[in-house]
Amino acid sequence: MIKRAYIDLEVCSQSDDCSARQHCAKEAINFEDGKIYINQYCNGCGKCIKHCSNRAIKLV
Ligand code: SF4
């Protein structure tokens, strides 16, 4: 089973300046109504994890 990114919203600062978001080649980290979420295009590559300064992203 393919893993996908999961954002812990209790840890995430939910900034639209998210560095992890800028490094996702699939544009899978999105904002809507001020909320961050992972969309269906996430392929579980894990690149976003090292770019999150809050360590809010995990693969599950
Ligand atoms: S795991 Fe890869 S595809 Fe999924 S959100 Fe992170 S960088 Fe994007």
Res. 59 pLDDT band, cuts 50 70 90: very high
In CATH terms, is domain 5-59 a member of 3.30.70.20?
Answer: yes
CA 14 – ligand 1 centroid, Å: 16
Ligand 1 centroid to 30 CA: how many Å? Answer: 11
Whole-prediction pTM: 0.89
DSSP letters for 13-58: ---TT-HHHHT-TT--EEEETTEEEE-TT-----HHHHH-TT--EE
pLDDT tens-place string over residues 20-56:
999 999 999 999 998 999 999 999 999 999 999 999 9
d(CA 43, CA 16): 21
Ligand 1 in reach of 47 Cβ (< 6 A): yes
Whether the CB of 39 sits within 6 Å of ligand 1? no
Distance (Å, whole) CA 32 – CA 46: 22
Supply the residue whose CA is at minimum distance from atom 2 of ligand 1.
Answer: 45
> What residue spans define the domains of the chain?
5-59
User: Sorting pLDDT into bands at 50, 70 and 90, what band is 1?
Assistant: confident
Tokens of 27: 């544009």
Cα dihedral sign, 23-6-59-13: positive
